Amino acid sequence: MREWKLKCPKGKLDLVFPNGEGNIEFHANIVTRGLHPPQIAAGLTVPALDRNGKPKVDKDGNPVMAAKYTGLHALRHFYASWLINPKEAGGQGKDIKTVQARMGHSSIVTTADTYGHLFPGTNDQEELAAAEKSLLGA
């Protein structure tokens, strides 16, 4: 951070992450120049639509593609998915309580409602049958 502070553009506001002139960097500019190009380069795209909701085409009739994720909030979902995903699949394999804390959710219900479908499910039928047999002797 110290290195960045020395070379970042200086402005009247002394911002940590200013634009090239040292001024406030606007959200729309960050999204348009920082979030969309890497998605397009990676193929995370959807057909661009015109004002009537019809797919746009270029002068050669090819579909114009747009970034799939349009806002910075998508990065929060990516982070949560990465936390939950098992280590074998490139994630962190964290439990729901850890994810709640890292996401800053005040309630675990928010975490479960939003990301519960991403946690690995278990098929515990064999364990339940063994427990039943143990308890009931059947």
Query: For residue 49, what is the DSSP state?
Result: B
Query: For the chain, which residues make up each domain, given as ranges?
Result: 1-70, 72-138
Rounded average pLDDT over 58-86:
95
Confidence band for 15, pLDDT divided at 50, 70 and 90: confident
Confirm whether pTM is higher than 0.85. Answer: no
Q: Which tokens in the block code for residue 108?
A: 């675990």
In this structure, of 29-33, 70-74, 114-118, 127-131, the range with the lowest mean pLDDT score is 127-131
pLDDT (0 to 100) of residue 138: 64
First to last CA, the chain: 66
